[in-house]
Structure 1
Amino acid sequence: MAPAASLPLCLCLLLASGFGHAGKLLVVPMDGSHWFTMQMVVEKLIHRGHEVVVVIPEVSWQLGRSLNFTVKTFSISHTLDDLNREFKIFAQTQWKTPEQSIRSLMTGSAKGFFELIFSHCRSLFNDKKLVEYLKQTSFDAVFLDPFNVCGLTVAKYLSLPSVILAKGIFCHSLEEGAQCPSLPSYVPRLFSKSADTMTFKERLWNHLIYFEERAFCSYYLKTAVEIASEVLQTPVTLTDLYSPVSIWLLRTDFVLEFPRPVMPNMVFVGGINCLQRKPLSKFPSAVRGSSYDDG
């Protein structure tokens, strides 16, 4: 398993033009549990001397709760109660359909939560003062969570290198963006419940899931892509947004993945969420000399 220390190292290599140079990083995070891991990395980078600016909505669950980095906020049209209500609807939908599929994640009332998250990007770019600040500030790279697509839009708008941190990329964006083959005949899709040694029937079913995924992902991410096209003032696709990514930091381990090719800019950083335990204390001499040693 790649040690957690490799993650800051990869970012430092991207940011630094020399061994003694501290970089300036723009962070576009995702709220909730997505932020916990990213915050650990951000604070580690700050500890190593890098300057960090985090761009967040003025209403959020966990974002911005740190005094170690510069926070830039932008106004949004909904309240925290609205966010809580939409997430509750989304969560209840998932509990009602334990047999998850791509369709259950993207249809019905659950889609309202994602639409709310995607709308943040339009609000960000409507803040002209903030956008001008981002344009005038000489950032070295954008560190982002790919879930809401906004970080990718910001990176493309500012023409900056981008670093993704994620356990996995929803839909088919990882293999297409990184040009990493993931053939349905050999690599099971999400929710397929198949192993990598599939029968002909399972491979056929895997292909059907793949085509369903492509159809529904386009529907699910439609608003995010439309906002990106508005901001960039040209029609864009998901591939246009994901392809320029400089480094993919995947919060998993190679041995936990199905066999598939891995591109040079994909780095496995499994274990970063593991708590570093203290060494076990030594047994007192009285215990070492007890009957337990007589075995």
Structure 2
Amino acid sequence: MSSGVWFSTLGFIAWLCCLGLVQGGKVLVVPADGSHWLSMKILVKELYHRGHEILVLVPETSSVIHGSESYKTEVYPVPYTKEELYQKFDRLEDDVFRKSSRMTELHNNVQLFIDYTSIQVNGCERVLNNQSLMTRLRKEVFDLVLTDPVLPCSSILANVFSIPTVYFLRGLLCDLDLQASQCPSPPSYVPAYFSGNTDIMTFPQRVTNMAMSFMQPYVCKMTFRHFDDLVSRYLENKTTYKDLLSHGAVWLLRYDFTFEWPRPLMPNMVSIGGINCAKKAPLPAEFVNGPGEDGFIIFTLGSMLHNMPEEKAKQFFDMLLFLVEVLWRYTGWLPQNDLLGPTPRLKSSSPMVEPTVSTRVSVMLCPFPLFGDQLDNVHRMTHIFTLQLWYFLSYKEKVVELSQVHLDRPVEPLDTAVFWTEFVMRHKGAAHLRVSAHDLNWIQYHSLDVIGFLIIILLTVLFVTVKCCLFCTRKCCRHGAAKRKSE
């Protein structure tokens, strides 16, 4: 081959390499620990395979966020230990198996969230005060912040560095995400958080739903007060965490309307339900010898609970002992998504992602909600079909039907999430998708000034009309009286 051809080939290869560097962006990932990260990691790895450079900001106490060849990690110190963090769940593990009223569970969930996030807000404050870390992050010149807004640190960093944010979430307590994005939530058919209502409500249910909708802003203010304090301390302008969230470029919502109440969404909200159902990988050696034709049961408590009261554990054990083969994830790791390759007869679990996972692969689900939004998740599933173990045939048919609806989409959830993440990087945000409702006050948003103006005009016209009628009546009466007098 001649030297000219070699130079041409090398030049073409160099051009391709340069092209890849230009197209690839820098992404700062600020995840939440636990199952939140397990879903986000799928998107992070796919962005790496698309040629982007990823840096994951990790607290030193993280339990599930580890290093990988797909991304770099920046571990930062926090003013608490893993033991102190786990102590926040001690009360949870004692209370979740106790029967309590809905309002008591709501109070416990709010208190648990405040206790758990308060200690992590201190870790976020340590990041913001770490000048060497902040300087290194600023020098990286990131194109995007990818984060779960369950903690405020990422939104503050995005504001300080003036870079767009993509939120990756299932939802926030008291629907703060919907309030921050100015998403309409008519209480006539959109159930309030933890109300126990469906999208079809009777008059008493609509009264309850309206009352809980009015209460939500106050619950949010109480729940996210420590977030607001942190935001106001580190940003020059006095703002709240909800105001900070409102500047998010795109919201990647980790749910699907196959399992949700139909409701409005904003232009910058994208549904990516099912993204956590990653492609199945080969099973580890200890799981290769699968069950027989009868299938098996997967029993898991998710990523948050590590212990169970001995009495409750014995009850579950005695119940499952007489059934088919059981895989019980009590602690540690279980390749749950990969195990769904065979055909389990029943899947018993409680984590928030389970309805999507089980329905996507047409596997039956027997959930028991413990805390957080799990009660609402199960309530939606029970509304779709009654979970009764005596009707497996009809239940299985319904699961298969929902699975077909869920899978019938033009683009896979992961590809959709990648597209919108890259879209924000290419265009330095998504300002054209931000609604003008963010710039209106409460009176303007509800058009109360216009309604008041129209009422004033109506009353003025009515007043003038009445006066004219009275004037004409008096004239006619006087004319008639004068005529009778002259006669």
Q: Structure 2-normalised TM-score?
A: 0.51
Matched with 2:173 is 170
Provide the C-alpha distance between the structure 2 equivalents of 1:148 and 1:228, rounded to a whole number of angstroms: 11
Contact 1:54 1:64 (C-alpha < 8 Å) held by counterparts: no
Aligned residue identity for 1:266: M
Contact 1:86 1:110 (C-alpha < 8 Å) held by counterparts: no
Match of 1:243 among 246, 249, 270: 246
Larger Rg: 2
Aligned residue identity for 1:42: V
Aligned residue identity for 2:186: L
Aligned residue identity for 1:37: S
* Distance verdict in 2 for CA 1:225–1:180, change over 3 Å: same
Match of 1:104 among 108, 120, 126: 108
Match of 2:236 among 233, 236, 254: 233
Matched with 1:115 is 118
CA displacement at 1:256 relative to structure 2: 2.4
Matched with 2:408 is none
CA displacement at 1:20 relative to structure 2: 5.9
Provide the C-alpha distance between the structure 1 equivalents of 2:280 and 2:135, rounded to a whole number of angstroms: 45
Provide the secondary structure at the position in 2 that maps to 1:197: coil
Query: After alignment, is 146-155 or 45-54 more displaced?
Result: 146-155
Match of 1:215 among 215, 218, 221: 218
Aligned residue identity for 2:49: H
Contact 1:172 1:214 (C-alpha < 8 Å) held by counterparts: no
Contact 1:251 1:269 (C-alpha < 8 Å) held by counterparts: yes
Contact 1:53 1:72 (C-alpha < 8 Å) held by counterparts: yes
- How many percent of aligned residue pairs carry the same amino acid? 34
Residue 156, structure 1, aligned to residue 159, structure 2: yes
Contact 2:170 2:253 (C-alpha < 8 Å) held by counterparts: yes
Query: After alignment, is 250-259 or 73-82 more displaced?
Result: 250-259
Contact 1:94 1:104 (C-alpha < 8 Å) held by counterparts: no
Provide the secondary structure at the position in 2 that maps to 1:55: strand
Query: After alignment, is 197-206 or 65-74 more displaced?
Result: 65-74
Matched with 1:63 is 65
Alignment of 1:1-295 (within 5 A): 21-96=23-98, 99-100=101-102, 101-107=105-111, 111-276=114-279
Contact 2:42 2:278 (C-alpha < 8 Å) held by counterparts: no
CA displacement at 1:30 relative to structure 2: 0.3
Provide the secondary structure at the position in 2 that maps to 1:171: helix
User: 1:23-60: CA deviations, max 9, x gaps?
Assistant: 10000100111110111111111111100111121221
Query: After alignment, is 257-266 or 42-51 more displaced?
Result: 257-266
Q: Report the count of equivalent residues.
A: 264
- Normalized per residue, which structure has more helix? 2
* Distance verdict in 2 for CA 1:48–1:269, change over 3 Å: same
Contact 1:90 1:110 (C-alpha < 8 Å) held by counterparts: no
Question: What 5-or-longer segments of structure 1 have no aligned partner?
Answer: 1-16, 282-295
Provide the C-alpha distance between the structure 1 equivalents of 2:216 and 2:76, rounded to a whole number of angstroms: 33
CA displacement at 1:99 relative to structure 2: 4.3
Question: What 5-or-longer segments of structure 2 have no aligned partner?
Answer: 1-18, 282-340, 343-487
More contact order relative to length (CA 8 Å, sep ≥ 6): 1
Contact 1:83 1:116 (C-alpha < 8 Å) held by counterparts: yes
Provide the secondary structure at the position in 2 that maps to 1:244: coil
* Distance verdict in 2 for CA 1:36–1:249, change over 3 Å: same
Matched with 1:8 is none
CA displacement at 1:149 relative to structure 2: 2.2
